[in-house]
A = this chain, B = another copy of it.
Protein backbone atom coordinates (compact mmCIF):
# COMPACT_ATOMS: atom_id res chain seq x y z
CA UNK A 1 0.00 0.00 0.00
CA UNK A 2 1.02 3.61 -0.49
CA UNK A 3 -0.05 6.77 1.32
CA UNK A 4 1.01 10.37 0.84
CA UNK A 5 1.53 10.71 4.58
CA UNK A 6 2.34 7.90 6.99
CA UNK A 7 2.46 8.61 10.73
CA UNK A 8 3.97 6.07 13.11
CA UNK A 9 2.32 6.36 16.51
CA UNK A 10 -1.27 7.09 17.50
CA UNK A 11 -0.90 9.15 20.66
CA UNK A 12 -1.10 12.95 20.97
CA UNK A 13 1.74 13.75 18.52
CA UNK A 14 0.72 11.16 15.94
CA UNK A 15 -2.96 12.03 15.91
CA UNK A 16 -2.32 15.76 15.67
CA UNK A 17 0.32 15.37 12.96
CA UNK A 18 -2.18 13.30 10.95
CA UNK A 19 -5.09 15.65 11.63
CA UNK A 20 -3.09 18.76 10.75
CA UNK A 21 -1.82 17.11 7.56
CA UNK A 22 -5.32 16.10 6.51
CA UNK A 23 -6.84 19.51 7.26
CA UNK A 24 -4.01 21.46 5.66
CA UNK A 25 -3.69 19.14 2.64
CA UNK A 26 -7.16 17.63 2.19
CA UNK A 27 -6.22 15.96 -1.09
CA UNK A 28 -3.46 13.86 0.52
CA UNK A 29 -4.02 10.35 1.87
CA UNK A 30 -3.00 9.93 5.50
CA UNK A 31 -2.37 6.69 7.41
CA UNK A 32 -1.65 6.32 11.13
CA UNK A 33 0.16 3.11 12.08
CA UNK A 34 -0.29 2.33 15.77
CA UNK A 35 0.77 -0.63 17.84
CA UNK A 36 -2.20 -0.65 20.23
CA UNK A 37 -5.83 -1.09 19.31
CA UNK A 38 -6.78 1.87 21.50
CA UNK A 39 -4.67 4.68 22.92
CA UNK A 40 -5.13 6.38 26.30
CA UNK A 41 -5.15 10.16 26.66
CA UNK A 42 -1.66 10.23 28.13
CA UNK A 43 -2.18 12.72 30.99
CA UNK A 44 -5.45 11.09 32.00
CA UNK A 45 -3.82 7.78 32.94
CA UNK A 46 -3.48 8.48 36.68
CA UNK A 47 -7.12 9.58 36.77
CA UNK A 48 -8.33 6.26 35.36
CA UNK A 49 -7.42 4.76 38.76
CA UNK A 50 -10.11 6.60 40.72
CA UNK A 51 -11.51 9.90 39.43
CA UNK A 52 -12.68 8.36 36.16
CA UNK A 53 -15.08 5.45 36.32
CA UNK A 54 -12.97 3.12 34.20
CA UNK A 55 -9.85 2.84 32.07
CA UNK A 56 -12.16 3.05 29.06
CA UNK A 57 -13.10 6.63 29.96
CA UNK A 58 -9.45 7.55 29.37
CA UNK A 59 -9.42 6.30 25.78
CA UNK A 60 -8.65 8.91 23.15
CA UNK A 61 -11.44 9.00 20.58
CA UNK A 62 -10.38 8.72 16.94
CA UNK A 63 -13.85 9.33 15.55
CA UNK A 64 -12.88 12.88 14.58
CA UNK A 65 -9.73 11.90 12.65
CA UNK A 66 -11.59 9.01 10.97
CA UNK A 67 -14.36 11.35 9.88
CA UNK A 68 -11.72 13.56 8.27
CA UNK A 69 -10.67 10.57 6.19
CA UNK A 70 -7.56 9.54 8.09
CA UNK A 71 -6.99 5.79 7.96
CA UNK A 72 -5.65 3.65 10.80
CA UNK A 73 -3.56 0.49 10.73
CA UNK A 74 -3.15 -1.39 14.00
CA UNK A 75 0.27 -2.90 13.59
CA UNK A 76 3.80 -2.29 14.80
CA UNK A 77 6.23 -0.49 12.52
CA UNK A 78 9.50 -2.40 12.78
CA UNK A 79 11.70 -0.74 10.19
CA UNK A 80 12.05 2.32 8.01
CA UNK A 81 13.59 1.91 4.57
CA UNK A 82 14.10 5.55 3.69
CA UNK A 83 15.85 4.86 0.39
CA UNK A 84 12.71 3.20 -0.94
CA UNK A 85 10.48 5.42 1.22
CA UNK A 86 8.61 2.61 2.91
CA UNK A 87 8.09 1.13 6.34
CA UNK A 88 7.68 -2.51 7.31
CA UNK A 89 5.47 -3.79 10.08
CA UNK A 90 5.54 -6.79 12.41
CA UNK A 91 2.43 -7.93 10.56
CA UNK A 92 4.62 -8.15 7.44
CA UNK A 93 3.03 -5.21 5.70
CA UNK A 94 4.99 -2.78 3.56
CA UNK A 95 3.66 0.76 3.45
CA UNK A 96 5.14 3.28 1.06
CA UNK A 97 5.08 6.97 1.95
CA UNK A 98 5.75 10.30 0.39
CA UNK A 99 6.17 11.95 3.80
CA UNK A 100 6.74 10.08 7.06
CA UNK A 101 6.22 11.30 10.63
CA UNK A 102 7.80 9.45 13.53
CA UNK A 103 5.74 9.86 16.69
CA UNK A 104 6.90 6.84 18.64
CA UNK A 105 6.59 8.41 22.09
CA UNK A 106 8.38 7.40 25.26
CA UNK A 107 8.58 4.55 27.76
CA UNK A 108 9.15 4.53 31.53
CA UNK A 109 12.72 4.54 32.81
CA UNK A 110 13.32 1.50 35.01
CA UNK A 111 16.11 2.28 37.47
CA UNK A 112 18.96 -0.25 37.62
CA UNK A 113 18.33 -1.17 41.23
CA UNK A 114 17.92 -4.58 42.78
CA UNK A 115 14.33 -5.80 42.74
CA UNK A 116 13.02 -3.42 40.11
CA UNK A 117 11.63 -6.31 38.12
CA UNK A 118 10.03 -8.53 40.77
CA UNK A 119 6.29 -9.14 40.88
CA UNK A 120 4.32 -6.27 42.34
CA UNK A 121 6.64 -3.62 40.91
CA UNK A 122 4.89 -1.52 38.30
CA UNK A 123 5.61 1.41 36.03
CA UNK A 124 3.12 3.64 34.24
CA UNK A 125 3.62 3.20 30.51
CA UNK A 126 1.21 4.85 28.11
CA UNK A 127 -0.24 1.47 27.25
CA UNK A 128 -3.92 0.62 27.56
CA UNK A 129 -3.48 -3.16 27.85
CA UNK A 130 -0.89 -2.83 30.62
CA UNK A 131 -2.90 -0.28 32.60
CA UNK A 132 -6.06 -2.35 32.20
CA UNK A 133 -4.21 -5.41 33.51
CA UNK A 134 -2.41 -3.85 36.47
CA UNK A 135 -5.16 -1.55 37.70
CA UNK A 136 -7.12 -4.21 39.65
CA UNK A 137 -3.86 -5.57 41.11
CA UNK A 138 -2.81 -2.13 42.32
CA UNK A 139 -6.24 -1.34 43.72
CA UNK A 140 -6.21 -4.65 45.63
CA UNK A 141 -2.91 -3.73 47.30
CA UNK A 142 -2.78 -2.50 50.87
CA UNK A 143 0.50 -0.73 51.05
CA UNK A 144 1.75 1.01 47.94
CA UNK A 145 5.10 2.77 47.68
CA UNK A 146 5.46 5.23 44.80
CA UNK A 147 9.08 5.98 43.90
CA UNK A 148 9.60 9.38 42.30
CA UNK A 149 7.55 12.49 43.09
CA UNK A 150 7.29 13.93 39.60
CA UNK A 151 3.87 14.61 38.08
CA UNK A 152 2.99 10.96 37.51
CA UNK A 153 4.18 9.96 40.99
CA UNK A 154 2.21 12.77 42.63
CA UNK A 155 -0.96 12.14 40.67
CA UNK A 156 -0.76 8.35 41.07
CA UNK A 157 -0.32 8.76 44.83
CA UNK A 158 -3.27 11.11 45.01
CA UNK A 159 -5.51 8.73 43.08
CA UNK A 160 -4.39 5.53 44.78
CA UNK A 161 -4.82 6.91 48.28
CA UNK A 162 -8.55 6.97 47.52
CA UNK A 163 -8.44 3.26 46.71
CA UNK A 164 -5.91 1.61 49.02
CA UNK A 165 -5.08 1.65 52.71
CA UNK A 166 -1.65 3.22 52.64
CA UNK A 167 0.34 5.14 50.06
CA UNK A 168 3.91 6.32 50.61
CA UNK A 169 5.50 8.68 48.10
CA UNK A 170 9.29 8.60 47.99
CA UNK A 171 11.57 11.19 46.41
CA UNK A 172 15.38 11.31 46.34
CA UNK A 173 15.52 15.12 46.13
CA UNK A 174 14.37 17.67 48.69
CA UNK A 175 10.66 18.27 48.04
CA UNK A 176 8.01 16.98 45.67
CA UNK A 177 8.00 17.91 41.97
CA UNK A 178 11.60 19.06 42.52
CA UNK A 179 12.47 19.64 38.88
CA UNK A 180 9.25 21.43 38.04
CA UNK A 181 8.74 23.86 40.92
CA UNK A 182 10.65 25.77 43.55
CA UNK A 183 10.08 24.33 46.99
CA UNK A 184 7.99 27.28 48.22
CA UNK A 185 5.54 26.43 45.46
CA UNK A 186 5.61 22.64 45.51
CA UNK A 187 5.11 22.63 49.28
CA UNK A 188 1.49 23.59 48.65
CA UNK A 189 1.00 20.33 46.77
CA UNK A 190 2.96 18.31 49.33
CA UNK A 191 0.80 19.71 52.10
CA UNK A 192 -2.43 18.93 50.26
CA UNK A 193 -1.27 15.41 49.57
CA UNK A 194 -0.10 14.64 53.08
CA UNK A 195 -3.23 16.17 54.63
CA UNK A 196 -5.15 13.66 52.58
CA UNK A 197 -3.24 10.74 53.97
CA UNK A 198 -0.30 10.18 51.64
CA UNK A 199 2.93 9.72 53.53
CA UNK A 200 5.68 11.70 51.85
CA UNK A 201 9.31 10.86 52.28
CA UNK A 202 11.66 13.27 50.51
CA UNK A 203 15.49 13.32 50.45
CA UNK A 204 15.26 9.54 50.54
CA UNK A 205 17.24 7.56 48.03
CA UNK A 206 16.09 4.00 47.38
CA UNK A 207 18.84 1.37 47.65
CA UNK A 208 16.80 -1.66 46.61
CA UNK A 209 13.38 -3.17 46.39
CA UNK A 210 13.10 -6.12 48.74
CA UNK A 211 11.18 -9.23 47.80
CA UNK A 212 10.00 -12.51 49.28
CA UNK A 213 9.25 -15.51 47.10
CA UNK A 214 9.72 -13.34 44.00
CA UNK A 215 7.18 -10.77 45.18
CA UNK A 216 7.84 -7.28 46.45
CA UNK A 217 7.88 -6.99 50.24
CA UNK A 218 9.41 -3.61 50.94
CA UNK A 219 11.69 -0.75 49.95
CA UNK A 220 15.12 -0.23 51.48
CA UNK A 221 16.72 3.20 51.54
CA UNK A 222 20.36 4.31 51.44
CA UNK A 223 20.27 4.87 55.21
CA UNK A 224 19.22 1.19 55.55
CA UNK A 225 15.76 1.93 56.84
CA UNK A 226 13.08 -0.25 55.29
CA UNK A 227 9.39 0.36 54.69
CA UNK A 228 6.96 -2.41 53.91
CA UNK A 229 5.15 -2.58 50.61
CA UNK A 230 2.99 -5.05 48.74
CA UNK A 231 3.17 -2.93 45.59
CA UNK A 232 5.71 -0.46 44.23
CA UNK A 233 5.26 2.03 41.41
CA UNK A 234 8.36 3.29 39.64
CA UNK A 235 7.74 6.80 38.39
CA UNK A 236 11.17 8.27 37.94
CA UNK A 237 10.70 9.43 34.37
CA UNK A 238 10.43 8.46 30.73
CA UNK A 239 12.90 7.97 27.91
CA UNK A 240 12.29 8.53 24.19
CA UNK A 241 11.28 5.43 22.22
CA UNK A 242 13.81 5.49 19.41
CA UNK A 243 14.73 1.90 18.48
CA UNK A 244 13.13 2.26 15.06
CA UNK A 245 14.82 5.59 14.33
CA UNK A 246 18.23 4.46 15.58
CA UNK A 247 18.19 1.30 13.51
CA UNK A 248 17.23 3.28 10.43
CA UNK A 249 20.22 5.57 10.91
CA UNK A 250 18.52 8.82 11.90
CA UNK A 251 20.76 11.37 13.58
CA UNK A 252 20.11 11.32 17.32
CA UNK A 253 20.48 14.22 19.77
CA UNK A 254 22.65 14.56 22.85
CA UNK A 255 19.86 13.53 25.24
CA UNK A 256 18.85 10.46 23.27
CA UNK A 257 15.90 11.80 21.30
CA UNK A 258 15.61 12.07 17.53
CA UNK A 259 17.28 15.23 16.25
CA UNK A 260 15.08 17.63 14.26
CA UNK A 261 15.34 21.18 12.98
CA UNK A 262 12.85 23.91 13.98
CA UNK A 263 10.39 22.51 11.44
CA UNK A 264 10.52 19.02 12.94
CA UNK A 265 12.47 17.67 9.97
CA UNK A 266 14.81 14.82 10.86
CA UNK A 267 18.22 14.26 9.29
CA UNK A 268 16.57 12.16 6.59
CA UNK A 269 14.67 13.74 3.70
CA UNK A 270 10.87 13.64 3.86
CA UNK A 271 10.86 12.26 7.39
CA UNK A 272 9.58 14.39 10.26
CA UNK A 273 9.39 13.56 13.96
CA UNK A 274 7.21 14.88 16.77
CA UNK A 275 6.54 14.39 20.45
CA UNK A 276 8.36 12.55 23.23
CA UNK A 277 10.66 10.68 20.82
CA UNK A 278 12.22 13.99 19.72
CA UNK A 279 15.03 15.88 21.41
CA UNK A 280 13.67 19.27 22.40
CA UNK A 281 15.55 22.47 23.03
CA UNK A 282 15.44 24.84 25.99
CA UNK A 283 13.49 27.99 25.15
CA UNK A 284 16.03 30.20 26.92
CA UNK A 285 19.42 28.68 26.15
CA UNK A 286 18.65 26.31 23.26
CA UNK A 287 20.34 23.52 25.21
CA UNK A 288 19.05 20.04 24.30
CA UNK A 289 16.34 18.91 26.69
CA UNK A 290 14.14 15.91 27.42
CA UNK A 291 10.95 17.91 27.71
CA UNK A 292 8.08 15.42 27.43
CA UNK A 293 4.66 16.98 27.64
CA UNK A 294 1.54 16.16 25.67
CA UNK A 295 1.13 19.86 24.91
CA UNK A 296 4.68 20.05 23.54
CA UNK A 297 4.01 16.90 21.51
CA UNK A 298 0.95 18.48 19.90
CA UNK A 299 2.92 21.67 19.26
CA UNK A 300 5.57 19.63 17.42
CA UNK A 301 2.86 17.78 15.55
CA UNK A 302 1.12 20.94 14.36
CA UNK A 303 4.43 22.24 13.03
CA UNK A 304 5.27 18.92 11.38
CA UNK A 305 1.81 18.31 9.92
CA UNK A 306 1.43 21.84 8.59
CA UNK A 307 4.85 21.88 6.93
CA UNK A 308 5.00 18.42 5.37
CA UNK A 309 4.74 19.66 1.80
CA UNK A 310 6.53 22.99 2.17
CA UNK A 311 7.19 25.45 4.98
CA UNK A 312 3.79 27.09 5.14
CA UNK A 313 3.57 27.60 8.85
CA UNK A 314 6.51 29.73 9.85
CA UNK A 315 7.72 28.91 13.28
CA UNK A 316 9.01 31.52 15.63
CA UNK A 317 12.67 30.90 16.06
CA UNK A 318 12.49 29.59 19.61
CA UNK A 319 13.09 26.38 21.46
CA UNK A 320 10.53 24.50 23.50
CA UNK A 321 8.90 26.21 26.39
CA UNK A 322 8.01 24.00 29.33
CA UNK A 323 4.50 24.87 30.51
CA UNK A 324 2.66 22.50 32.78
CA UNK A 325 0.17 22.23 35.57
CA UNK A 326 -1.21 19.71 38.00
CA UNK A 327 -3.96 19.53 40.57
CA UNK A 328 -3.65 17.84 43.93
CA UNK A 329 -6.73 17.79 46.13
CA UNK A 330 -8.03 21.11 44.88
CA UNK A 331 -4.66 22.84 45.01
CA UNK A 332 -3.54 23.45 41.46
CA UNK A 333 0.00 24.34 40.49
CA UNK A 334 1.41 25.55 37.22
CA UNK A 335 4.81 26.55 35.92
CA UNK A 336 6.02 28.10 32.70
CA UNK A 337 9.66 28.55 31.77
CA UNK A 338 12.43 28.48 34.34
CA UNK A 339 12.07 28.29 38.09
CA UNK A 340 14.26 30.16 40.56
CA UNK A 341 16.56 27.22 41.33
CA UNK A 342 17.18 26.26 37.70
CA UNK A 343 17.64 29.89 36.68
CA UNK A 344 20.36 30.31 39.28
CA UNK A 345 21.92 26.97 38.36
CA UNK A 346 22.02 28.09 34.72
CA UNK A 347 23.87 31.24 35.77
CA UNK A 348 21.15 33.80 35.17
CA UNK A 349 21.25 36.98 37.20
CA UNK A 350 17.68 37.05 38.47
CA UNK A 351 15.09 39.18 40.20
CA UNK A 352 12.13 37.47 41.84
CA UNK A 353 8.71 39.02 42.41
CA UNK A 354 5.92 37.37 44.38
CA UNK A 355 2.32 38.22 45.17
CA UNK A 356 -0.59 36.58 46.87
CA UNK A 357 -4.30 36.97 46.34
CA UNK A 358 -7.49 34.86 46.15
CA UNK A 359 -8.90 33.54 42.89
CA UNK A 360 -12.36 34.99 43.56
CA UNK A 361 -13.44 38.34 44.95
CA UNK A 362 -14.59 38.82 47.59
CA UNK A 363 -12.45 36.01 48.93
CA UNK A 364 -15.35 34.74 51.04
CA UNK A 365 -17.04 33.29 47.93
CA UNK A 366 -17.53 29.60 48.52
CA UNK A 367 -15.19 28.23 45.84
CA UNK A 368 -12.39 30.70 46.48
CA UNK A 369 -8.79 29.44 46.71
CA UNK A 370 -5.48 31.01 47.51
CA UNK A 371 -3.59 32.39 44.53
CA UNK A 372 0.15 32.75 44.75
CA UNK A 373 2.35 33.89 41.89
CA UNK A 374 6.11 33.82 41.67
CA UNK A 375 7.84 35.45 38.72
CA UNK A 376 11.52 35.17 37.84
CA UNK A 377 13.02 37.91 35.69
CA UNK A 378 16.49 38.17 34.14
CA UNK A 379 18.57 41.16 35.18
CA UNK A 380 19.30 43.75 33.97
CA UNK A 381 16.95 43.34 30.98
CA UNK A 382 13.96 42.56 33.17
CA UNK A 383 12.84 39.90 30.67
CA UNK A 384 10.60 37.22 32.15
CA UNK A 385 12.33 33.86 32.57
CA UNK A 386 9.64 31.92 34.32
CA UNK A 387 6.49 31.88 36.36
CA UNK A 388 4.92 29.63 38.94
CA UNK A 389 1.29 29.69 39.98
CA UNK A 390 -0.62 28.21 42.90
CA UNK A 391 -4.37 28.61 42.57
CA UNK A 392 -7.71 26.92 42.22
CA UNK A 393 -8.50 25.27 38.91
CA UNK A 394 -7.76 28.39 36.89
CA UNK A 395 -4.05 27.72 37.51
CA UNK A 396 -4.06 25.74 34.27
CA UNK A 397 -4.94 28.79 32.20
CA UNK A 398 -3.13 31.36 34.36
CA UNK A 399 0.12 29.63 33.59
CA UNK A 400 -0.75 29.94 29.90
CA UNK A 401 -1.06 33.72 30.34
CA UNK A 402 2.52 33.66 31.53
CA UNK A 403 3.47 31.27 28.74
CA UNK A 404 2.28 33.86 26.23
CA UNK A 405 4.20 36.54 28.12
CA UNK A 406 7.35 34.40 27.88
CA UNK A 407 6.85 33.83 24.18
CA UNK A 408 6.76 37.59 23.71
CA UNK A 409 9.87 38.40 25.78
CA UNK A 410 7.77 40.49 28.12
CA UNK A 411 9.54 42.40 30.86
CA UNK A 412 8.70 43.23 34.46
CA UNK A 413 7.55 46.68 33.30
CA UNK A 414 5.32 45.13 30.62
CA UNK A 415 3.69 42.87 33.19
CA UNK A 416 3.39 45.59 35.83
CA UNK A 417 1.49 47.68 33.27
CA UNK A 418 -0.48 44.74 31.88
CA UNK A 419 -4.14 45.22 31.04
CA UNK A 420 -6.25 42.32 32.23
CA UNK A 421 -9.87 41.44 32.96
CA UNK A 422 -11.43 40.27 36.21
CA UNK A 423 -14.75 39.02 37.50
CA UNK A 424 -15.85 38.21 41.07
CA UNK A 425 -16.82 34.60 40.30
CA UNK A 426 -13.86 33.86 38.05
CA UNK A 427 -10.69 35.71 39.05
CA UNK A 428 -8.81 37.65 41.67
CA UNK A 429 -9.87 41.21 42.44
CA UNK A 430 -8.49 43.77 39.97
CA UNK A 431 -7.02 45.59 42.96
CA UNK A 432 -4.73 42.65 43.66
CA UNK A 433 -4.31 40.77 40.40
CA UNK A 434 -1.29 38.76 41.41
CA UNK A 435 0.57 38.65 38.07
CA UNK A 436 0.68 42.43 37.97
CA UNK A 437 1.47 42.74 41.67
CA UNK A 438 4.31 40.20 41.44
CA UNK A 439 5.83 42.09 38.49
CA UNK A 440 5.50 45.37 40.33
CA UNK A 441 7.13 43.84 43.40
CA UNK A 442 10.04 42.69 41.23
CA UNK A 443 10.42 46.24 39.89
CA UNK A 444 10.50 47.53 43.45
CA UNK A 445 13.30 45.04 44.16
CA UNK A 446 15.23 46.45 41.21
CA UNK A 447 14.75 50.05 42.38
CA UNK A 448 16.05 49.28 45.86
Contacts and interface: CB of A to CB of B under 8 A. Distances in A.
Interface of A: 12, 15-16, 19-20, 23-24, 41, 43-44, 47, 51-52, 57-60, 283, 293-299, 302-303, 306, 312-316, 318, 320-321, 323-327, 332, 334, 336, 361-362, 364-365, 367, 393-401, 403-405, 407-408, 410, 413-414, 416-427, 429-431, 433, 436, 440, 443-444, 447
27 contacts: A15-B431, A16-B431, A19-B431, A23-B440, A23-B444, A41-B429, A43-B424, A43-B430, A47-B365, A52-B364, A299-B420, A306-B416, A313-B443, A318-B419, A320-B419, A323-B421, A325-B423, A327-B425, A334-B421, A393-B394, A396-B426, A397-B397, A400-B401, A401-B404, A404-B418, A407-B418, A408-B408
Contacts of A393: 367, 393-394, 425-426
A285 B361 CA distance: 32
A396 B422 contact: yes
B315 A433 contact: no
Contacts of A283: 419
Given A57-B362, A295-B430, A401-B404, A313 B417 contact: yes
A334 B373 CA distance: 22
Nearest to A393: B426
A324 B418 contact: no
B426 A332 contact: yes
Nearest to A392: B393
Contact of A24 (B12, B16, B444): B444
A19 B429 CA distance: 15
